[in-house]
Homo-oligomer: A and B are copies of this chain.
Amino acid sequence: MAVFDYEQVSKLAPAVAREQRDRSPCSACSVRGMTICAPLDSQELTQISAIMSSVELGAGAPLFDEGEQAGNVFNVTSGTIKVYKLLPDGRRQVTGFLFPGDFLGLARQETYAFSAEAVTLSLLCRFPRHKLEALMQRLPKIEQRLLSIASNELVAAQEQMLLLGRKTAREKTASFLLMLSKRSRQRGQAGDPVTVPMSRTDIGDYLGLTTETVSRTFTQLKQEGTIKLLPNHQVSLARRDVLEEIAGGF
């Protein structure tokens, strides 16, 4: 009942479900090696944890909306977040999925350029932007780390543009599964039976396709024996080599 209760809360009181100002949880952080905290020593970790608070979001709970005052930046520590933009008539483009270790909220402007929402139950570290900026003055390592993160995201964004502009539905889908698998491995999890926590609609909005086309393409790949659809949002990349061939250089 307790769990259920709080999921209710996360839906009703949007943005932030539960938060606490932990003293120094960073030392036990399982994804520290991949976040902005990676280059910091234990003394510096204390400094950054002093300005940090943690946030828990239930599945479907919004983190922030496009156009909102950009007061915080975040680090995902568990769960999956989706980031998207909308057209006035409701058409949606998911510009990215974020997993543990990923950074979120880099926006040099005053407002967020996109919306963010939890796909599954998620935990994040939250840093007030002005405090982080003040800290950056003293710890330039953080700034360097942010630049490095931004550069990597830029490379990924260009790859995604290639996918959206020039790949077929089949190629997009294969690329997507390989991307999930690669990122799963990067954070030390299994690369083969890969977890696909997001809905067909979310996948479609990420790949520039409709749910129906995504579903059909999955079925097609399954019937060829290239992938296997398992229970609990798991997909086995039975023939990774074929998938890579279809994806076309990813």
Contact = CB atoms under 8 A, between A and B. Distances in A.
Nearest to A162: B93
A161 B157 contact: yes
A248 interface: yes
Interface residues of A, number: 41
Contact of A143 (B95, B114, B147, B205): B147
Interface string A67-89: 00000000000000000010111
A2 to B, nearest CB: 38
Interface string A151-167: 11111011111101111
Interface in A92-130: 92-93, 95, 106-109, 113-114
A108 B249 CA distance: 21
A106 B177 CA distance: 28
Contacts of A164: 161, 164-165, 208
A106 B152 CA distance: 10
Contacts of A92: 166
Which 6 residue pairs of A and B lie closest in terms of their CB atoms, listed nearest first?
A165-B208, A157-B157, A164-B164, A108-B151, A150-B150, A93-B162
